Amino acid sequence: MNELQSVIGFNEEMLDDAGSSAFAGLAGTEAENVTDQLLDDDEVTCWTCGSEVDQEQIESRIETLQERRETMTEEIETVEAEVEELESEDYSAVLDLHKEANQLEYELGKLETDLERVDSNVREIENRIAEQDEIESRLD
């Protein structure tokens, strides 16, 4: 990051300092004729390293990098869509499990209530049997 920031800073300084000799050399001020200065030159001088490169090579590089960027962007979008789908599937699965757990808790509550009612009925019947045994003993 530091190296990139220094290169970017250098480039910005070069653009701001349009009167410098380096910039004048890049612009092709060595040509005597204004018309010659306006004509496209096949080679471009890099102001960071000073090497000369064919303009077509730069354009071919810029295009390659743009295509790569588009491909990477598409891959990122695809992965993000997959992640979003998986998250929604996971969320849906969690919701289904919560619904099932709630249903089971409801059924458990019903069964516990039924058990309490049956226990109560059993106690009542046992009390009646005990009373009946007591009444039969009195009668005897």
Judged by average pLDDT, the poorest of 1-10, 43-52, 60-69, 127-136 is 43-52
What does the alpha-carbon distance between residue 32 and residue 42 come to, in Å, rounded to a whole number?
Answer: 18
25: confidence class by pLDDT, cuts 50, 70, 90: low
Q: How would you label 22-31 residue by residue, b for 16+ Cβ within 10 Å and e otherwise?
A: eeeeeeeeee
**In the prediction, which pLDDT does 40 show?**
55
Give the residue, 69 or 27, on which the prediction is more confident. Answer: 69
Instruction: List the chain domain ranges.
Output: 1-50
**In the prediction, which pLDDT does 21 show?**
53
In angstroms, what CA-CA distances link 107 with 3, 20, 96, 99, 119? 66, 85, 17, 12, 18
Average pLDDT, the chain: 81
**In the prediction, which pLDDT does 94 show?**
85
Give the residue, 72 or 92, on which the prediction is more confident. Answer: 72
**In the prediction, which pLDDT does 34 show?**
54
**In the prediction, which pLDDT does 26 show?**
53
> pLDDT, tens digit, for every residue of 64-84?
989 999 999 999 999 999 988
Check pLDDT > 60 for residue 139: yes
